[in-house]
Amino acid sequence: MALREVVTIPDEVLRRKAHKVTNFDKDLSTLVDDMFETMRQAPGVGLAAPQIDISQRVIVVEYAEEEDEKPKSFAVINPEIIKTSAETEMGIEGCLSIPNLVGEVERFSAVVVKGFNKQGKPVKIKSSGWLARIFQHEIDHLEGILFTDRATRIWQPPQEETAELPE
């Protein structure tokens, strides 16, 4: 495993629609492992391949609902949101590719994501709350959409607060 550099705005890869993954091989497995290591080191709770300058539809997510709970880890290849809740909720988001800014973003309260694991087996994940927000944020990256595009308000938080935000 290796740490990869997280690209930041205005890098063009962040605005491109990522390419569908067609080869579920050793290179993909290495990419996923590197993404997890890079995300944890950052630290973040999600990372999309375009954020490390790879225009492929790959995301990793790691999140625990409770502080003392072991986080759940997800690697999803070619993820799609196939179902959303009727309810939405506002939340504050940050992004490893947009340092020192946060914003208030409205997201669906719950989503169902389908895709493939790194071995190419189909996966379906039902999520709600912050986990659903993280999935929506990361899948947006694959479409070239940043949280600042969806935010109703953007600001620079005091330094100590940024460590507590998702992504």
Residue numbers annotated as active site = 138
What number of CA atoms fall less than 13 Å from residue 153's CA on the CB side? 7
Tokens of 82: 């196939």
φ and ψ at 87, to 5 degrees? Answer: -80, 145
d(CA 116, CA 114): 7
Cα first-last separation, the chain: 21
Tokens of 91: 């939340």
Alpha helices in the chain (DSSP H): 26-41, 129-142, 147-150, 159-162
